[in-house]
Amino acid sequence: MDAPVKVQVRIKPSSKWNNLPPYSNDDLLNDEDSILVKLSSTKVEFNQEKEFHFDHVYDINCNQKEVFEKSTLPLLNQLIFGYNVTVMAYGPTGSGKSYTLGTANSNVELACSNHDDAGLLAQIVTWIFSKKTDSSEEQYQISKVQISFLEIYKEEIFDLLSPVVSKIEVKNDKVENVIMENITDVEVHNQEKALHLIRKANLRRQVKKTKSNDSSSRSHAIISLKLEIQRNGEIRHAVFKIVDLAGSEAVAKDGTTGEIKNEGIFINKGLLALGKVINALNSKNVSHIPHRESVLTRALKDSLSGNSLTVLICCVKADVQSIPTTSAALQFASKARAIKTKVQSSFKTPLKPALVQVQFKTPGKTHFKTPKCTPWRTPFATIERNRKVMTPGGSSFAVPEQLAMSEKCPNLDESVLVSGSFKRNLSKLSDSEDIENRIQKAVMERVDSFLEGFKDKLAHSLLVNCSQRLSCQSLLGENATSNSYQITSYGSEPDALNLTSVLTDSISQINDGRRRSTRLAEKRQTLSNVTTKENDSKLVVPTPRSSSTRKNVKRASTLSLPIPEGKSEQNIAKYKKDMLDYLNRASQSQMQKLPSIGPKAGHSIITYRNLNGSFNDLETLKLVPGLRKNFHENFLKVNFLD
């Protein structure tokens, strides 16, 4: 099965003590899956803007738990079914890679005291041992956990868990598989022992104080957690790799000298080779992938193109001075997004292995972020195709099939789930449990109706897990809701794989549709309008925009509501053509400007359009699921199209 490498970005907050001014919305702007960078500080690309898209962007306010839940937890759920997994951190020096992964010794120490700031590593170890001791998981049981800790320093690999630090030879077999022999794998029986070992190995790692970081990793680290998993007497293995890449360094610019400079040269060499491998993997015309160009790329071969589900977390800094390095790192990371690995469970006939995690984001209003955003989360629930809903507590309830949304959730307008103001609705509801139940039901219905469109392609034995994240954000007194669904399906492998491809294709179409929109450009425009209003007395110099952004803004503003101009055949034909064009291009808010189209209808039309492509004629509106019975007739009538 092909699995795209997931690429996420984490923006490190600017440290108070380093006196660097934080970025402003004019330098760098992000939303949940994209970043817009203005390269005003580089002479070469004066005032150029670049927009990058990722699977997720964590802003400066996100905590370690959130990063774990979004980047790693879905992979851990796959690991147990025999899939290999890699979580890799990339980014400039001092951007927070070791902090995020939790591989710095300070983090490992925090992990030992269960501190919230401990990074991914501690949470991974905790998860694995909680599964190991959990006897309720009947089919898949972790029976053994082993740890190895390798360091790549100046193009050589060292085993940090052998009694004396020793060099590891890298070889290739006849079919170009990378072989690293005699690595020390230490069996661990509990979390404390695992963290103790990691701490011990960490103390042997090459770490130095540099101009950018008090404790900068001078080497790349690969920590592997090797699991032995049992199912019905069958024993299989799966490996979780945590890769802490050393940070790319501006050796010449920083004016570093001596050993630190020398190390920086090796670090950059390895990262350059990594970039070349990623470029080659992206290119359809290249037959040779230069894995052998560095020890790092040889060691990471499986994670980049072999049997591994891989997440790359690109860490960047949030200060203005770092914008050029941030842009370079984002460029690198966005290329990695096109890579696909080939994954396979180590179990021959996995029972419920084809676990699928996809993010289904409703195309909604532009979401604004402010530091005050409060995450709010519904619990996991399980729905079956027969509409039985299981709550995390184990109780179940049936969702009546024929009930209208308004009857199910009298106080909860469905627009809440799309783009409405959650806070506004929140005030209407009495207690939080009630809200959860109502929203949960509404989410179920939405996912169910989404799947309904594919019912002929899917068997009815699938189980679908759905969680929804809503976050209330407040900007200038207004509230906006962003939401995304995470859908996880279990089932017989062909069914689940079928669902994977259907959902993944649909979701990427939806997301691509959103991407091509002018979200970030519009957002920046809105923010700058607001600033202008607030600073009426200040003279605001208009900033030149890149041609692509200018084009986008123009495209959005030129979409005007179609107007009937007369009753001649020619005019009617033009009006119909304009209407079709409008339906094919309008955003959610633009769609709602059309008579007879509310939030729900607008959302259904856009979702259908994203899944099936543009409408060829107005008759196709009849095929859009979720619209009222007489919607089509009514739409033609009120828009003078009948």
Ligand X SMILES: Nc1ncnc2c1ncn2[C@@H]1O[C@H](COP(=O)(O)OP(=O)(O)OP(=O)(O)O)[C@@H](O)[C@H]1O
Q: Which residues are annotated as a binding site for ATP?
A: 91-98
SS3 156: strand
Q: Which is nearer to ligand X, 71 or 93 (CB)?
A: 93
The sign of the CA dihedral 552, 553, 555, 556 is positive
Token digits for 229?
Answer: 């998993």
Q: In the bound complex, what is the minimum distance in angstroms from residue 92's beta carbon to ligand X?
A: 7
Q: In the bound complex, what is the minimum distance in angstroms from residue 202's beta carbon to ligand X?
A: 12
307's enclosing H/E stretch is none
Integer Cα distance of 51 and 36 in angstroms: 4
CA-CA distances (angstroms) from residue 196 to 107, 120, 127, 160, 607? 12, 16, 16, 13, 50
Binding map of ligand X across residues 82-111, x = CB under 6 A, - = no contact: ---------x-xxxxxxx----x-------
Radius of gyration for the chain, computed over Cα atoms and rounded to the nearest angstrom: 26
Q: Which is nearer to ligand X, 246 or 447 (CB)?
A: 246
Among 48, 148, 217, 473, binds ligand X (CB under 6 A): 217
Binding-site residues, in ranges, read 91-98
Integer Cα distance of 319 and 317 in angstroms: 6
Q: In the bound complex, what is the minimum distance in angstroms from residue 519's beta carbon to ligand X?
A: 25
Q: In the bound complex, what is the minimum distance in angstroms from residue 255's beta carbon to ligand X?
A: 16
Q: Which is nearer to ligand X, 101 or 289 (CB)?
A: 101
Token digits for 491?
Answer: 């089932």
Secondary structure letter of residue 68 according to DSSP: I
Q: With contacts defined by CB under 6 A, name the span among 44-52, 211-219, 592-600, 605-613 that binds ligand X.
A: 211-219
Q: In the bound complex, what is the minimum distance in angstroms from residue 25's beta carbon to ligand X?
A: 19
Q: Which is nearer to ligand X, 101 or 389 (CB)?
A: 101
End-to-end CA distance of the chain: 49
Q: What share of the chain is helix, strand, coil (3-state, %, to 5)?
A: 40, 25, 40
Which of 420, 415, 417, 418 lies closest to 479, judged by CA? 420
Q: Which is nearer to ligand X, 217 or 506 (CB)?
A: 217
Q: What are phi and psi of 508, to 5 degrees?
A: -70, -30
Q: With contacts defined by CB under 6 A, name the span among 1-9, 20-28, 214-222, 330-338 that binds ligand X.
A: 214-222
Q: Which is nearer to ligand X, 15 or 406 (CB)?
A: 15
Q: How many CB atoms lie within 10 A of CB 554?
A: 10
Q: In the bound complex, what is the minimum distance in angstroms from residue 434's beta carbon to ligand X?
A: 36
Judged by CB under 6 A, how many residues of this single chain contact ligand X?
Answer: 18
Q: Which is nearer to ligand X, 244 or 445 (CB)?
A: 244
CB 369 within 8 A of CB 473: yes
Q: Which is nearer to ligand X, 205 or 514 (CB)?
A: 205
Binding map of ligand X across residues 506-545, x = CB under 6 A, - = no contact: ----------------------------------------
Q: In the bound complex, what is the minimum distance in angstroms from residue 13's beta carbon to ligand X?
A: 5
Integer Cα distance of 473 and 234 in angstroms: 49
Question: Of residues 231-250, which lie at the interface with ligand X (CB under 6 A)?
Answer: 246-247
Q: In the bound complex, what is the minimum distance in angstroms from residue 328's beta carbon to ligand X?
A: 14
Q: What are phi and psi of 240, to 5 degrees?
A: -105, 115
Which of 264, 270, 308, 274 lies closest to 152, judged by CA? 270
481 scored as a contact of ligand X (CB under 6 A): no
Among 8, 202, 216, 468, binds ligand X (CB under 6 A): 216
Question: Long-range contacts made by residues 195-201, C-beta under 8 angstroms, separation at least 24?
Answer: 195/108, 195/111, 195/112, 195/122, 195/125, 196/112, 197/147, 197/149, 197/161, 198/103, 198/108, 198/121, 198/147, 198/149, 198/223, 199/105, 199/108, 199/109, 199/112, 200/161, 201/149, 201/160, 201/161
Integer Cα distance of 581 and 75 in angstroms: 41
Q: Which is nearer to ligand X, 56 or 524 (CB)?
A: 56
Question: Of residues 5-44, which lie at the interface with ligand X (CB under 6 A)?
Answer: 12-13
Binding map of ligand X across residues 303-322, x = CB under 6 A, - = no contact: ------------x-------
SS3 482: strand
213 scored as a contact of ligand X (CB under 6 A): yes
Q: How many CB atoms lie within 10 A of CB 257?
A: 9
Q: In the bound complex, what is the minimum distance in angstroms from residue 126's beta carbon to ligand X?
A: 20
Q: Which residues bind ligand X (CB under 6 A)?
A: 12-13, 91, 93-99, 104, 213, 215-217, 246-247, 315
